[in-house]
Structure 1
Amino acid sequence: MPRAGADASGPGAPTPPRRVLREPAELSLWLIRPPLPDSPAAGRLAAHELDEAEARRAELFVRPQDRVQYLSAHIALRRILAASTGYPPDRLRLGREPGPLWAHRRNKPVLLYPPAPVHFSLSHSHGLILIGTAAAVVGVDVQRIPSPGTVEVCGPALHPAEWRELRALPHAQRQGAFARLWTRKEAYLKGLGTGLGRGPARDYLGAGTDADAPPGPPGWVVRDVLAGSQHAAAAALATPTEPVITLRSVPVACLYGGAAGQPLSAAPLLAWRRRGSWTLRWSLLERDPPG
């Protein structure tokens, strides 16, 4: 037995426990602005990379801008997943998680082939597309800032602490705050795979300013995403610790087919976040489309 103060290392000494340093989870976010439906850029979109179900879905849209937005979103998603898996975009097979047939359209979208550990989520609203990819379950949502009337109609359906927080704000701030809250809620519910089938009052995702506010969902990190002045956006990741988040802007030329297309590596980094506030590369406000 070693005397006090002696070095206890040696062949017979117990091995001290090793500290396992876990790398923080990574979340990649991508913003895309679809081209105008009557522009040359819309005609260059690589629509041939979509599968039959996506092509049929695109044809169902009545408004040309909605069709182009859908095409842009799904071409971008396939190219982002192709960059993650090494498979060509048109060879990827997308589907839905197993679940009741009546809820098939609401079941979480998944990558069926190749069998790669990549989770993704997609959202689009009024000229802005947001895609998130990660090794853990992820949900994203983007919404245009709503009217004051929408806030008053939908607000009472929120968690009581969330609604109290909104009503405590000046009227001029409620629309933006509501939009940020709603996208946090939808991103989280997309991550769960329930969508709004799970009542919006069940989970608290507010700003934490109400004295009686409960904690947020355990095991999840839910963060606002920079999306300019006309939209709000959020992402939810199933991780217990703060992830490294990167936000990139995808030029529409990255969605072209043929020689005119740019590689996804041309998507510039807009912002990143590690354990605090966002660090900006340049202002997203300058990228808002005209009113």
Structure 2
Amino acid sequence: MPTIPLPRDPPRLSLWLVRPPPPDSAAASRLAARELDAAEVRRAELYLRPQDRVQYLAAHIALRRILAAATGYPPERLRLGREPGPASARGTGRPVLWDPPVPLHFSLSHSHGLILIGTAAVVVGVDVQRTPTIDTVRLCGPTLHPAEWRELARLPERSRPAAFAQLWTRKEAYLKGLGTGLRRRPALDYLGDGTDADAPARPSGWIVRDLRVGPRHAAAAVLATGAEPLITLSSLPVACLYDGPAGAPLSAARPLA
């Protein structure tokens, strides 16, 4: 009698949103840079604007605390690095957690007061962007895949900034998943909405999802799987970055979707 394969659990993609505190607030002064490694501290010091420095600190502390909750390791003991990037995009590569006790991939993005972090057992990419001006759309649009640019050009001008932001987050999330970042030309891959009759398929082997994160930002996530994932999106209060045990910030998470 043939064996009937048991159904496998769907891949899980966990997403968190964090808003950094104002740079002159008591919350900002409590951010624990001691949980970061030396390279992260040096990078934070390069930011000239206080709000950018606080956003960077908040993003990386949140990432380390989320990874600590998943692994049981203290945030400051986590070893983060980069995989070797593709030969066609030297100097790049996905950020990785070295020697995790369980399969664990992550991706991080932050833009103008909003931080997005994703974790999964397979390769993940996330991106968040503030909606740009129409001038930015006009400048950057021609660098897109031709079918993507045609789709945007058909929209009323007032609708293009939000549509461009959503498209661009799909593209950057995908390029982060590949490990190339923007060293791979944006025109090479199609991440549009499929309304152009001559548009190719989106990249195979990847699930691409738009995320609702508020009226002023767009966000997207990609997952290296062919199976439909189980996606959770939660908001982390800023106090999770300094209150309570460093490895357990997720108990205060508020589900958003």
TM more than 0.5: yes
Which of 243, 257, 270 aligns to 2:229? It is: 243
Deviation at 1:17, TM superposition (A): 3.2
Does residue 171 (structure 1) correspond to residue 157 (structure 2)? The answer is: yes
TM-score (norm 1): 0.84
Question: Is there any run of 5+ residues in structure 1 with no aligned partner, and where?
Answer: 1-14, 272-291
2:171 match: 185
CA distance in 1, matches of 2:2, 2:120: 34
CA distance in 2, matches of 1:238, 1:205: 15
Specify the code of the residue in structure 1 equivalent to 2:41: A
Question: Is there any run of 5+ residues in structure 2 with no aligned partner, and where?
Answer: none
1:43 match: 29
CA distance in 1, matches of 2:240, 2:232: 18
Deviation at 1:228, TM superposition (A): 0.4
Deviation at 1:115, TM superposition (A): 4.7
1:145 match: 131
* 1:1-291 map, 5 Å: 15-99=1-85, 103-104=90-91, 106-256=92-242, 263-271=249-257
Superposed CA deviations along residues 253-278 of structure 1, whole A, max 9, x for unmatched, are 0001568998321011111xxxxxxx
Contact 1:92 1:113 in 2 (8 A): no
TM-score (norm 2): 0.95
Which of structure 1's runs of 4+ aligned residues deviate more than 6 A?
258-262
Contact 2:105 2:123 in 1 (8 A): yes
Cα RMSD after superposing both structures: 2.0
Superposed CA deviations along residues 29-88 of structure 1, whole A, max 9, x for unmatched, are 010100000000101112211111111111111110010000000000001001111111
Report the secondary structure of 1:35's partner residue: coil
Report the secondary structure of 2:187's partner residue: coil
CA distance in 1, matches of 2:13, 2:78: 21
Q: Which has the larger radius of gyration?
A: 1
Deviation at 1:199, TM superposition (A): 1.1
Deviation at 1:217, TM superposition (A): 0.6
Contact 1:44 1:257 in 2 (8 A): no
1:274 match: none
Report the secondary structure of 1:169's partner residue: coil
Contact 2:132 2:165 in 1 (8 A): yes
